């Protein structure tokens, strides 16, 4: 016969599991209501840099990371800030992606700006959560 403490332990474990499942469901629901998708992808596109050599990506939901594939023969700078007079060279949320390279950059912000050469093409994927950093050939 099972003892009372053992039954209590089993019952508490089942209650804890149910509460964890409920919390996960509520988190997913809250994310959906805020405009997030359950796969954490906010934006994905092939972007052509404008006449100033920039592209600004805006979202009501803060980005957690951006994957950039630089298809050009010029470097591209990623910044977690609105478009400025020129590409930042150092600082928080600033990352350079070499010509013909790709990178996953963890950052945060509702405005991300790409700086490069006018007309160059860059593939971007913006995520609401951080992604494992990656570097390589596009």
Q: What's the token pair of residue 97?
A: 């992606």
**49 closest CA partner among 75, 15, 23:** 75
Spell out the residues 6+ positions from residue 124 whose beta carbon is closer than 8 angstroms to its own.
Answer: 43, 44, 45, 47, 57, 66, 67, 68, 69, 114
Summarize pLDDT for 65-103 with one digit per residue, the tens: 999 999 999 999 999 999 999 999 999 889 999 999 999
CATH top-level class for 41-137?
Answer: mainly beta
Summarize pLDDT for 48-64 with one digit per residue, the tens: 999 999 999 999 888 99
Task: Map out the domains of the chain as residue ranges.
Answer: 1-33, 41-137
What pLDDT is stored for residue 37 in this prediction?
A: 57
Query: Residue 138 above 60 pLDDT?
Result: no
């Amino acid at each position: 016969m099972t003892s009372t403490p053992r039954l209590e332990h089993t019952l508490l474990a089942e209650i804890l599991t149910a509460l964890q499942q409920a919390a996960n469901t509520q988190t997913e629901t809250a994310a959906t209501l805020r405009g997030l998708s359950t796969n954490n992808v906010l934006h994905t596109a092939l972007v052509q840099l404008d006449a100033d050599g920039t592209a600004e990506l805006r979202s009501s939901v803060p980005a957690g990371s951006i994957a950039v594939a630089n298809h050009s023969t010029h470097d591209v700078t990623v910044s977690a800030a609105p478009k400025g007079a020129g590409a930042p060279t150092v600082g928080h949320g600033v990352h350079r992606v070499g010509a013909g390279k790709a990178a996953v950059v963890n950052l945060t912000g509702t405005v991300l700006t790409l700086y490069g050469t006018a007309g160059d093409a860059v593939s971007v994927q913006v995520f609401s959560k951080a992604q494992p950093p990656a570097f390589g050939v596009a």
